[in-house]
Amino acid sequence: MHIRPRRNRKSEVIRNMVRETGVSLTCLMYPLFMVDGSKKKIAINSMPGIYRWSVDLLLKEIEECLRLGIQSFVLFPAVEDRYKDKMATYSYNSSNFYLEAIRQIKKRFPEACLMSDVAMDPYSSDGHDGLVHEGKILNDETLPILGAMSVAQAEAGIDIIGPSDMMDGRVGFIRQSLDEAGFSETSIMSYTAKYASAFYGPFREALDSAPKSGDKKTYQMDPANRVEALREASLDEDEGADFLMVKPALCYLDVIYLLKQNFELPISAYNVSGEFAMLKAAGEKGWIQYERAMPEMLLSIRRAGADIILTYFAKEYAELIKAGHT
Ligand code: PBG
């Protein structure tokens, strides 16, 4: 035997030298949930360690994250029922608490990169990402609402718009709306291949945004499909997306790989709430070594080809690195 792969694993130094992939803090984006009001830090049952923050406390949380080396944040609003309506009008009301908070965060931490969520569900009395009429989700009628929402977020100072709604043509529509309003520098990270997944459950609890009737299968993708992701990606690229996203991440590593092989745009992956909850639960039960499994999960997403990972693990991962664990 003259070929022995184990020689390249014989010491820590050599293993470090031949390591092919890594997860640096610069590739992580940390999703944060927000509520109206002040002095609020509300736990989310199915997401241990994740909270819904009012902006005063969120500013402190962001400061702590920045100090740990997390520089990008994805912001989601949990909207009170009394502000929800069929047309999601609160989403582009420039004095809504979400847009106010974006202004405050940007003013205090101009160096932080902020991404929004664009979809109707947190603001809609129907709990769907698009406009509902007689049980159907209308596509073209939804686009102007998404456009108005995006422009309002750009005005508030958001760096990246994140359309998560899966309506056809929305990236192009949003791009044009932003450009016409003078926001040609505002980026778009498209939720390109977003699947109708069971792994969004804890997120919908966090935002109280579950559909009031039906499901999201007429707009989110069928988990069985791979080639269709290429089709969505081509459209998003043509329509002017700056980043392409695959969501969820762990059950869709092949789709991440596929997009990375076929497109030149940066690829991001959303390590979603259900994936987070699963690992947390197994860790809490003592069935898995959480502190080893968590970095391994993130690594697998990077190895599949993701340049960027949106993950609820971001802050804890930064703390692990600081403590010298990884
Ligand atoms: C809203 C949206 C969802 C997520 C991000 N944006 C939920 C959904 O589509 O129902 C899920 C994120 C997660 O589960 O962590 N359009």
Q: How far is the CA of 114 from the centre of ligand 1 (A)?
A: 17
Report the domain count for the chain.
1
Residue 7 lies in a domain: no
* 322 tagged catalytic: no
Any idea what the Cα angle at residue 197 is, between residues 193 and 201, rounded to 5°? Answer: 130
Q: What is the CATH number of the domain that holds 65?
A: 3.20.20.70
Residue 138 lies in a domain: yes
Residue 22 lies in a domain: no
- What pLDDT was estimated at residue 207? 85
Q: Which residues pair with 32 in a beta bridge?
A: 75
Residue listed under structure tokens 């989403």: 91
Residue 159 lies in a domain: yes
31 preceded by cis ω (within 30°)? no
Q: How far is the CA of 25 from the centre of ligand 1 (A)?
A: 23
Residue 213 lies in a domain: yes
Considering 84, 216, 247, 315, which one is annotated as catalytic? 247
What range does the domain containing 45 cover?
Answer: 27-323
For 50-105, the pLDDT digits (tens) are 999 999 999 999 999 999 999 999 999 999 999 999 999 999 999 999 999 999 99
CA proximity to 77, closest of 96, 50, 57 = 96
Any idea what the Cα angle at residue 284 is, between residues 279 and 288, rounded to 5°? Answer: 55
Half-sphere exposure of 137 (CA within 13 A, CB side): 24
Q: How far is the CA of 185 from the centre of ligand 1 (A)?
A: 25
Residue 19 lies in a domain: no
pLDDT < 70 positions in the chain: none
Residue 16 lies in a domain: no
- What pLDDT was estimated at residue 284? 97
Residue 34 lies in a domain: yes
Residues having CB closer than 6 A to ligand 1 are 117, 119, 121, 129, 164-165, 200, 203-204, 272-273
* 247 tagged catalytic: yes
- What pLDDT was estimated at residue 205? 87
- What pLDDT was estimated at residue 12? 96
For 235-264, the pLDDT digits (tens) are 999 999 999 999 999 999 999 999 999 999
